[in-house]
Amino acid sequence: MLIGLEEHCRELGLELSPGAADGMREYWRMVLAANERMNLTRITSDEEATVKHFVDSLTVLLTGVFTPGVRVVDVGTGAGFPGVPLKLARPDLRLVLLDATLKRVRFLQEVVAHFGWADVEAVHGRAEELARRPGWAGAFDVVTARAVAQLDKLVTWCVPLLRPGGHLVAMKGPDVDAELKAAGKALKRLGARVAAVERLVLPKGAGRRSLVVVEREA
């Protein structure tokens, strides 16, 4: 189960505690079991999941925006990526797992109950709707999103969730120039800017990634 997870994390400069790695194995077993009755992931081999789900999810920690105890919302979390691996690696994070598909949220509620997390909530809804509500608007230090939407849409949905000075980490493939360009107007309108684009290579030839870090201006 998830062989080499710790080694591959270390290659990227991320150190996992034994407890975190065990938790990821347990969670992956839950994903695979639930995947039999609903569509959660098309990746089902342990080897592929190790890098493409788990190591990939944890790369966002390299951005430096996850300071101790930050309040995070993972928008369009699906089966829980990157949110659940992040919480396992960093128990101090306060987390909302948000998805527009109810059956996925129900699965995530089982995961939260299984780990007994008091500071994680799985919520059914759309980011752009919740972002207008009190308690959500401007309430988060960090928003994460992987494979959810193009950057222009993503910033429109997610920047309003951020406190001034907060960050969106959009997990993208190698080519982000066109998306960055297309998001320019939306960023300006929302009072946000691209603070960094971090490019990295996943282990085991799993491909190149870009982490687009957007900051809501203070």
Long-range contacts of 196-201 (CB under 8 A, 24+ apart): 196/63, 198/62, 198/63, 199/174, 200/12, 200/59, 200/62
Interaction between residue 35 and ligand SAH (CB under 6 A)? no
| Assigned token pair, 92 | 């101090």
* C-beta closer to ligand SAH: residue 145 or 213: 145
Among 20, 30, 76, 216, binds ligand SAH (CB under 6 A): 76
| Chain residues 196-215 in contact with ligand SAH, contact rule CB under 6 A | none
Q: Which residues pair with 199 in a beta bridge?
A: 210
Whether the bond between 18 and the residue before it is cis, its omega within 30 degrees of 0, is: no
Instruction: Name the minimum Å distance from CB 59 to ligand SAH.
Output: 12
| Chain residues 124-143 in contact with ligand SAH, contact rule CB under 6 A | 126-128
Interaction between residue 98 and ligand SAH (CB under 6 A)? yes
A 10 A CB-CB count for 186 gives: 17
* C-beta closer to ligand SAH: residue 36 or 42: 42
71, 97 Cβ separation under 8 angstroms = no
Among 1, 100, 186, 197, binds ligand SAH (CB under 6 A): 100
Binding residues for ligand SAH (CB under 6 A) = 75-79, 81, 98-101, 104, 126-128, 146-148, 157
